[in-house]
Structure 1
């Protein structure tokens, strides 16, 4: 058929092969229970003592790639999305699956509002010196 979206060529990319829609990777899920902790700069870290993820046949190749990338060094959610060339929402769901399986954990950076003001620290140091 022609390229009008009705034929099989619509689902095939000559260079990449068959096209898989992002929602197929997440089994139609658009969010995950841990998603509230997964902002773009949250760091995903592989659990060093986790079982071999390749032994778990329920994990997709994308899940395994995320664990592999995070095993070498912590990766932000944004970095994972860029490396996998997937939407951030899909990566959040996949990382949530891996958190549930205890293959990775997420470290959230301290929000700027919770950081101590540098001026306050200087005032404390100056006050201590004055004692």
Structure 2
């Protein structure tokens, strides 16, 4: 269960509006960037939420990877995005691939501000009580 879990909270995104509201467009980009990073896509689900009085609905793009997962959630009314990339490093170290995927997705949204986190998860050979 050892792996790298990256998260990014992006604010003031200056990307073109469709990246925040078009589930199919965003989903296709997520798949393409995951594959370009050298990760293996094994499933996907993209969902657009309905508009609210505050503005257009956001989207969620979830990509299941052989190495683990990628999730992107958008809030167009706030020009905000959260990204979650987790890769298991049991058979090989996929950390560089996860970082490349995160960087490519961040660049897509052109954030004015970003809060990034990295968490090393699990230890090979560790005993969990």
Q: Shared fold by TM > 0.5?
A: no
> 1 or 2, which has the higher strand percentage?
2
Q: Which has the higher contact order (CA 8 A, sep 6+)?
A: 2
- In the superposition, the TM-score normalised over structure 1's length comes to 0.30
